[in-house]
Structure 1
């Protein structure tokens, strides 16, 4: 019964904010495309530096020297501040444009990473992307889209009802509900954190052991 209620609430939320979902998705897709094209204009020095970093990562995986703690902390540093920024921006009346810019930047990061690996390592770069980048982003991207829409919806509600006394009297209840929504998104994202920390490196290690080094 509770699962049906959750589905009903989610379905209503999507229907009420359909265009916000479309806009957020388009921003992320735009960022991915920009990230892919930006690799073409990188200098040889930057490409060599980044390839060296990937080679060191690959060597650490192959040697078994994987610091799961460091990877986990990096995933937290890379994602939690973004969620907190979206949460804060949703509490303002001018946060929507910045939220959309964050979506573009997030998409840019994903597009750049995948394009760089494919451009620098060829076919093996595709395999590296599928194993090391895609699994966690299957979780991250929907979570960031959901967080973006929740924040934009709340920001628009503030803008529409800023003169409404009822809104003012219930502000703390609505802010609490809004914050709990972000907390739930964070909980789901922890699945992505553990995927990026434990699953992706070991998948890369397993394939590398089977076909040799991922790096050419």
Structure 2
């Protein structure tokens, strides 16, 4: 009960940061989706070849996912969390945290935008099973990491440069603990991507075909 109260207080106190980071991410998604329209026909054809190759591999019954995919996925998530954590330790890291959030939005927006643009409702279905499920957890986790990093960085500024001295170590431990909790959550996401997502992709792959236009 006390933990829930503290969490509500934390969310309320940092609501402006949550809103700012969320808006940055949404702007990234929109920008990424718009980038699809800027691709040349040759670039679209090249991407279509890659997607078609993947779909053919799936339809031929070749296995993918598994242990290698798990470690690749988890290491990628861990790099995002670790980089945000490191950037939060320094004052100059703030703009780079915001840049990472925007970039994550661009990646998601571009991926979904390309699939929908090339495959219409089939692309929406493919994005729904291959991109959406894990990102429903990954994105909030990275947003929480980013807000915690920004909050800690701002606390350091107040503590060191504005003569508002406070205990730095407890705040640092709370910040680090939250980052570790998000890393543990993303460990579970990587398991999903490696062992459940391939099954879902195999269900929808037979109805997919990409034309490069």
TM-score, structure 1 as length reference: 0.89
Structure 1 residue 84: deviation in Å?
1.0
Give 1:126-165 correspondences, 5 Å limit: 126-163=124-161, 164=163
Q: Any idea what SS the aligned residue of 2:20 has?
A: helix
Question: For residue 104 of structure 2, what is the aligned residue in structure 1?
Answer: 106
Cα distance in 1, alignment partners of residues 2 and 45 from structure 2? 52
Give 1:32-181 correspondences, 5 Å limit: 32-62=29-59, 63-163=61-161, 164=163, 167=166, 170-181=167-178
Per-residue CA shift, 1:127-154, capped at 9, x if unaligned?
1000110000000010011000000000
Cα distance in 2, alignment partners of residues 178 and 152 from structure 1? 10
Runs of 4+ in 1 over 4 A off after TM superposition: 163-166
Aligned length: 208
Structure 1 residue 5: deviation in Å?
2.8
Structure 1 residue 207: deviation in Å?
3.1
Cα distance in 1, alignment partners of residues 44 and 68 from structure 2? 24
- CA root-mean-square deviation: 1.7
Q: 2:179 aligns with which of 182, 198, 212?
A: 182
1:131 and 1:200 in contact (8 A); partners too: yes
Cα distance in 2, alignment partners of residues 14 and 165 from structure 1? 22
Q: Any idea what SS the aligned residue of 2:207 has?
A: coil
Structure 1 residue 165: deviation in Å?
8.4
Extract unaligned runs of 5+ from structure 2: none
Highest RCO, 1 vs 2 (Cα 8 Å, sep ≥ 6): 2
Structure 1 residue 202: deviation in Å?
0.7
Per-residue CA shift, 1:172-205, capped at 9, x if unaligned?
4432332121000111112221222222221121
Per-residue CA shift, 1:109-139, capped at 9, x if unaligned?
0000000011122221111000110000000
